[in-house]
Amino acid sequence: MAQDGVEFSRIDGILDELQPYLVMGVQNHNLRNFTFERWRWDEPRLTVTWAGDDHITRNLGVSLRFDGGNERMGEILVEVNAWRDTDEMGGSVRIRKWRTARIGELKIREIRPRTPVLIFDEQLLIHSLYIGFRTVSSWQFRDLETATPIPAFASGRLLG
């Protein structure tokens, strides 16, 4: 969602500065067949998603949160997720088995008008990404502790 009082282009500049850290994390963990995305539903977020041979899909997200629309205050959040969707009860119910963890919350010390836009604890972000990739990669199917019924996926829906 939009960040009240904070311009999208300004936030996009912050994502520009965070992206190389995520790219470095991907390289350090030798991820293959991953997808990379910026923004989602107008929420400022960098997401790396990959699927393993274990049929579990995993992602690591770095998102931004600003305090009450204050452009100079905010946090960088590092989050990981793993999930697998299964059809149960003869295919009538779809269950998502998933697990999530908030790995890091880094205070943004300052947001400046020119490069570097963002002043934050660089080493803490690098460490959080390392822990995040390592944690989510270690999760097995038995570790996906939450089961949530979800709507059946439909690529199109007939109107009757």
Partner 1 sequence: MIVHLYRYGSDPIELAQILRERRIQSRNAATAFATWYTFDRYDDPAAAQQFLALRDPPVYRVGPVWAFDVGQPDIPPRPVAPANGQPGGGTELRVVSSVWIFGVWNYQAQRWEL
Rounded to 5 degrees, φ, ψ at 102 are -85, 115
Q: Are 106 and 50 in contact (CB under 8 A)?
A: no
Q: Quote the CA–CA distance of 4 and 85 in Å, as a whole number.
A: 35
Pairing of strands 146-150, 43-51: unpaired
Q: Kindly state the smallest distance separating residue 72's Cβ from partner 1, in Å.
A: 20
Shorter beta-carbon distance to partner 1: residue 70 or 148: 148
Whichever of 42 and 88 has its CB closer to partner 1, that residue is 42
Handedness of CA 135, 139, 143, 145 (dihedral sign): positive
Pick from 155, 109, 149, 132: nearest CA to 21: 132
Q: How far is the CB of 59 from partner 1 (least distance, A)?
A: 6
Pick the closer one to partner 1 by CB: 59 or 128.
Answer: 59
What is the C-alpha to C-alpha distance for residues 92 and 25, in angstroms, rounded to an integer?
39
Cβ nearer to partner 1, comparing 39 with 130: 39
The binding site for partner 1 (CB under 8 A) comprises: 1-2, 4, 8-9, 11-12, 15, 38-43, 45, 47, 49, 57, 59, 61, 63, 65, 79, 81, 83, 85, 94, 96, 98, 100, 102, 146, 148, 150-151, 153-159
Least distance in angstroms from the C-beta of 104 to partner 1: 14
**Shortest Cβ distance from residue 23 to partner 1 (Å)?**
18
